[in-house]
Structure 1
Amino acid sequence: MTAERSRAAHARDHSSLAALEQRARELLDPAYYDYYAGGAGDEITVADNEQAFRRLALLPRVLRDTSGRSSATTLLGDPSSMPVFVSPTAFHRLAHPDGERATARGVAAAGLIMIASMAGTVAIGEVTAAAREIDREARVWFQLYLQPEPDVTEELVRRAEQAGCTALVVTVDSPVHGRRAREDHHGFRDLPPTMCAENMRNLPGANGSGARPIAMSPDFTWDHLHRLREVTQLPVVLKGILHPEDAQLAVQHGADAIVVSNHGGRQLDRAVATLDALPAIAAAVAGRIPIFLDGGVRRGSDVVLALALGATAVGVGRPVLWGLAVGGDKGVTGVLDTLRSEFEHTLTLCGIAELSELNSGLITARGVVAQ
């Protein structure tokens, strides 16, 4: 058995994503593992994202026919085999030589949507091409940091459009970079010389063929969303919404969807856990646009909890990286198939015949039973 096949088999044999993370940690350079796993400050928000799910319990229904249920759905008109997508994460070649190409193949094999990071170590055109090697109808969305120079932002949008991306996901929670102690400990500042953020090559104002750094800016406002609308017809999703008033503003300013996200705890430590923020945001949005959520999803039962509290779909980030590190594209598919199996099993045990039946009546606090 080749090393790659052995690693993929190992990925499939793990009974939980927590066990898979431990295997990935053993394989990865410690600096790279900590780059992926770490968060801002004392990593309180990183832990809270997962703990928020553990504070809740399910109230199952019984004697309900669930035999004909399908997990398939659509997200902004794009088909997805279940209400799960792959959240954008950076620098996949630190985990596997094929980087985002392998991730794209693995996600496509699972029938899901991948949100490709602007900070990818593979250019977006190669990412979409890799996905469509597996499934000609595979959907890829492009995550975008607005850049201070409008022509740079517009060029990135054009590249995403030309690559066949079907939505833009604009990260709005990063006016500055987060401060992460683990990266400081390792002195992790730059990628190895053989890698760069490939989407940042050959942009306006760059010297030669080098890759520009990704700029963060505290100057961006809601007006910049309108400017983005002027240069693209793609759906625009705002990622990084935690306050219900911002959710209302997103609707008012024409966002096609929002992602309730705290950047996996990598930006503002002590930011509210995404699951805790979700109910108030769902109430504020009141069904006008889809609400996605990421942060802390580690089990299929977590997907059920988030959907019952108002999410349209949920994203997974770090677990996909662990699958990539352990088993390449097959490791990625294995992670997503594990979530699918757990999700469908939980739905059956809760007596849910249709995804539309998921609601807050299915949820209670642990130790508290509704009367």
Structure 2
Amino acid sequence: MNVLVFGAGVIGVSSAWYLAQAGHKVTVMDRQPGAGMETSFANGGQISVSHAEPWSNPHAPLRALCWMGREDAPLLFRLRWDAALFEWSLRFLSECTAQRTRANIRDIVTLASYSRNQLKALREETGIQYDHLERGILHVYTDRKELETAVEASKVLREYGCDRRTINAYECVAIEPALETAQPLLVGGQYTAEDESGDAHRFTKQLAELCRLQGVTFRYGTTIDQIEAADGHVTGALVTSSTGRDVVKADAYVVALGSYTPLLLRPLGIRIPVYPAKGYSATVALDDSSIAPSVSMTDDAYKLVFSRLGQRLRIAGTAEFNGYNTELNSSRCNALMQRTRQLFPELRPAGKPEFWCGLRPSTPSNVPLIGRSALSNLYLNTGHGTLGWTMACGAGKALADIVGGRSPEIELRRI
């Protein structure tokens, strides 16, 4: 089949790779001048099955209330009238029960584990390089109640195959010696040895090149204005590029536009529970004398992650619900660096941090939407939230199976 993929982020490019591997003729379109230039550009860098507990959990409503009004809050809802956010928030609250949390953890762990295995197979097959490290992910805690909550969550994770084991502060330092100075702050941690880290932007660019060598066509600088449909299926898409406007046609269409997917689908009468959650990151070039982590870390209390990418440290996290606003907020940027200095006081940057923000496409449950839409030849691959990099290969492979009329190797939740 001829397949059009809308979006050249890590999800869209991964979809294109597996579609091409299945024998389809694939074209990828994106408004940016290259692959991975938006949400995939400077994310946290983790392949983190261990980060499967969704934001919507029994503890979330009280925490969100406590953080209300704080500019540096890990989870920040901007108070304004936004019908889409109001509807999303109601669904978010409905997902905060213990029963729903358990079901969501099961689905997230299943897809994330499958995806991690697919990534390893892809790496072995192609030799793709993206500053990856296979040293696990260490969750650290400076608050005993946070640790106790995490211990309970990890019991559910282990039931579904994610071995996130609890360790003491001394073991945290043994795994990551850069924490030695901050050891008095630590009350304990959790460690998942199977998790990984790597540069999602570099991966996306490298995979796009591998796709091109396999015959995939990329049309950058192309905006998808409108999807045209009739009689229950897509008949074409109106796009704009430097050469003007034209209608492109294919046998199947895959929408992998992240947070912008709902805007493209809404005129078709298709409403999906995806809302942008703005995440921040800082990339710090390291001096040779820096005492910086080489094991990827998660600071659950502050919703931050730390990943070593060659001679750089990526600090990323938090979530700000403020529509499609992509402006940097200095308070939230400063909060990233303040917490970094607390944990790594001997970090010696080789220059000023490079700050960035991106819109993560989030569902209320944190479970993504992968599969056929209400239109027979229109498929979705979106809503991966903070785990887009983690789930990319698994989501791409499962999507390619569905487009090809095959059952995915794992069970996916129906759209």
**TM-score with structure 2 setting the length:** 0.23
User: Which structure has the highest helix share of the two?
Assistant: 1
User: Which structure has the highest strand share of the two?
Assistant: 2
Structure 1 or 2, whichever has the larger Rg, is: 2
